[in-house]
Structure 1
Amino acid sequence: MSAPITPNGWAVVPDYGDPALGTLDAVAGRGNVLAGDVAAVLGAFCADFAREVEPIVKADSWGYAPRKQHGSDRWSNHASGTAVDLNASRRPEFRSTYTAAQKVAIRALLVRYPVLRWGGDWSPAELDEMHFEIAASPAVLATFAQTLGGGAMAAPRMTSPVQGYVSSRYGSRSGGFHAGLDIAGGGVSRTVRAAFAGTVERIVRGRARGQSASIGAVLAPGRSGNGVVVRNPDGERQLYGHVTADAGLKIGDNVGVGDRLGVTDLSGVTTGYHLHFEVWTARGATRNPEIDFRTFDVTPGAAPYVPAAPPAPAPSKPAPSAPTQQARDPKVLAWQQRANRYGKAGLVEDGVKGSKSLRWEAWVRQLQTALNRWKAVAPKLVVDGDYGAVTDNAVYQAQKANPARFGPKPDRVVGPKTVRALGIPAKPDVS
């Protein structure tokens, strides 16, 4: 007899202690989520949630439970080990408790994790802000997990960027405010690695020892050394100062956690080899880097994580007579064409629902959910991730009826004013 299935399409795990279960450190207990891709994706999400929304109280958060939905004969998604409740007593059912800024942060996370669904987007009768669950098939989830570095999740979410010891902390000191954390290398130049994954946004080279920040190009006002700025997917940045960037590193390069950026140097105003490490919020304000080190349980100055070298290429083989390609789905193609026509998505119209299409679909679901909260939108939208004529018209209805919030001229464009009015993240770049 086959196992019963939970509403999100996954098989019920019979009981605690089942070998199919793995352990997610962010929530209480052992054997608290389905092992493999589910654990990998929920683990990555929880780490980002703790960093970008609020800390997770482990004792007040949980996952697997072999039970049915309250007042129903249907299995809960907790029964398949594919759901977690975070900070349950702080986020009770049927109440909206997150701030507007926290909701924006959560919805931004859901764009990056299109395989998840949030109970905070459910109807008032079902509202459950503590609840996050897998909303994808095993095959789709496996594909997405690979974008996080593989199902094993070998790479950490953060690493110490350089080996050494803390020589100066963030905050006020004689002579002014110190906007970063200094990690000294014991009198020698040390290799510097990316603390977080992101994209290289700025590189400064060629500054001399003792050169004032008032002379020549700098990483940021008042920063005197060479170095690198990396922008994360969430818009936050890290500044790596007094660093000679590797010759092959260039603006626009994507770097993973632990990827090499360069070596510490004696550029600018400095008393010796050290890394000046700053963390900037998405709005450009500095934050004490030790907050991030504590959040991710990383010791400043510990030996950095070093990614494994990529495997050597396999010996070349004769090309097949017909190349193997993923099947082109006419329904997906039509969906992409509607997204491009009405939503100006910029998707490649290939009939394949890959990671970019999944990100777009997750964002459209948030757009549709937000539009349904406005009285002017009628009839209410089906939240299906399809940006077609109906969703386009709903955008127009909301804009036309609320010029004070959306602007005086309805233009059907989900631009900065519209996303602010709706309380959702900006349209994802999927081009």
Structure 2
Amino acid sequence: MGEHVEDHQIARRTMLRVGVGVAAAASMATLVPAVSLAAPQQNDPLDAKLDEVRSGDLSANGWEIEKGFDIGGAVWMREVQGTGFSVPLHIGMAQTVLHHVIRRYHYSVATLRPGDVLGFLLHDRKQPAYQSNHASGTAIDIRPGSHPVGTRELFDSQRVAIRSILAECCGLVAWGGDFKTPDEAHFQLAVKPDDKRLAKLAESLAGFKY
């Protein structure tokens, strides 16, 4: 009889311990999901890379300003065929059109040498707004040292040749010689990247005979 009572007490104590354990587990269950289901914070390496390239601002002609060239963005140094030198520009349609301007200038206006053409330049807010187009890789300066801003140094025959180049670009390229304060060295895309005329022009220039 004594053994039966003792067994009963042991079983009762065991049940109490189990009950306490179950209650503790249930209590913890209300806390664990809040921790375990929280997704760990992750940094997307692609986003980080883009932050190093993009400024978040647009140039005057509506293209994205970048922080440099050959750094993983859209602006790259590429050779201008037929000239022997390279210029950093926004690859794709912008590059195709501006390369055309450079080559035609080289053959029809004046022979160009390495260093004569500037493409990408870091954005400088102290400069006139149109200069921001360099920072998106959509503008070039041809011999800026020979054609300072505010001067008119080109011969009439050279201006005629430039007008011919602009006509070939169907009004999608603007020339600084037409600005209120002339900048005869400067050429830039005059349309935004989503302008459908740009793609058509780039396609037509691909077969141009120089």
What TM-score, normalized to structure 1? 0.32
Matched, 1:14 2:53: no
- 1:370-429 CA-partner distances (Å, limit 9, x unpaired): xxxxxxxxxxxxxxxxxxxxxxxxxxxxxxxxxxxxxxxxxxxxxxxxxxxxxxxxxxxx
The aligned counterpart of 1:209 is: none
The aligned counterpart of 2:187 is: 132
The aligned counterpart of 1:25 is: 79
- In structure 1, runs of 5+ residues without a counterpart are 150-154, 158-195, 198-431
CA apart distance, 1:55: 1.2
Decide whether aligned partners of structure 1 residues 107 and 74 sit closer, same or farther in structure 2, where only a CA change above 3 A counts: closer
Q: Is the 8 A contact 2:88 2:120 kept in 1?
A: yes
CA apart distance, 1:17: 2.4
Q: Is the 8 A contact 2:119 2:139 kept in 1?
A: yes
- 1:103-134 CA-partner distances (Å, limit 9, x unpaired): 111112111112100001111xx311110001
Alpha-carbon separation, structure 1, partners of 2:187 and 2:129: 21
The runs of 4+ residues in structure 1 deviating greater than 3 Å are 26-31, 69-75
Q: RCO greater where, 1 or 2, for CA within 8 Å and sep 6 or more?
A: 2
Give the aligned residue type for 1:129.
Answer: E
Point out the structure with max Rg over C-alpha: 2
Give the aligned residue type for 1:135.
Answer: A
Richer in helix (by share)? 2
Matched, 1:142 2:196: no
Matched, 1:48 2:101: no
Give the aligned residue type for 1:105.
Answer: A
- In structure 2, runs of 5+ residues without a counterpart are 1-50
Q: Is the 8 A contact 1:13 1:80 kept in 2?
A: yes
What TM-score, normalized to structure 2? 0.63
The aligned counterpart of 1:110 is: 166
Q: Is the 8 A contact 2:79 2:87 kept in 1?
A: no
Q: What is the DSSP-based 3-state SS (H/G/I as helix, E as strand, rest coil) of the residue aligned with 1:96? A: coil
Q: Is the 8 A contact 2:166 2:174 kept in 1?
A: yes
Matches within 5 A, 1:148-227: 148-149=205-206, 196=209
Percent identical residues: 27
The aligned counterpart of 1:35 is: 91
Q: Is the 8 A contact 2:85 2:113 kept in 1?
A: no
Q: What is the DSSP-based 3-state SS (H/G/I as helix, E as strand, rest coil) of the residue aligned with 1:32? A: strand
Q: Is the 8 A contact 2:69 2:76 kept in 1?
A: no
Task: State the superposition RMSD in angstroms.
Answer: 2.7
How many residue pairs get matched? 151
Alpha-carbon separation, structure 2, partners of 1:12 and 1:28: 27
- 1:342-370 CA-partner distances (Å, limit 9, x unpaired): xxxxxxxxxxxxxxxxxxxxxxxxxxxxx
